[in-house]
Amino acid sequence: MMANWPIFIALVWIFVLALAFSKIVSLSSITAAAFLPILTLFYSPGPCYADFLLSFLISVLIVLKHKGNIVRIVKKEEKRIFR
């Protein structure tokens, strides 16, 4: 997978917007990760399913890594960065 600046910039914006609304870093990370495969489909140069598959696997790993955070978010126990 090549570095793709439009995908990177879009993911940064998604992270920042999610952080502005939720004020929870882990939720913002999960949100940006969820958008990675979708953005890869739209911004990849040509039909490259290997890029999509790799981005999907990366997203799944990020979400699995945040399992404890997801539990705390659901219980409303996850700390916010701004009050």
How much is the pLDDT for 3?
Answer: 61
pLDDT in tens, the chain (83 residues): 456 888 999 999 999 999 999 999 999 999 999 999 999 988 877 767 888 899 999 999 999 999 999 999 999 988 888 66
Indicate whether 59 belongs to any domain: yes
By C-alpha distance, which of 27, 59, 18 is closest to 40?
A: 59
Query: What is the total count of domains within the chain?
Result: 1
Give the integer Cα–Cα distance in Å for 62 and 75.
Answer: 20
Show the domain range for 54: 23-83
Indicate whether 50 belongs to any domain: yes
Look-up: residue for tokens 């916010």? 80
Indicate whether 36 belongs to any domain: yes
Which pTM value belongs to this model?
Answer: 0.85
How much is the pLDDT for 1?
Answer: 47
Indicate whether 3 belongs to any domain: no
Indicate whether 54 belongs to any domain: yes
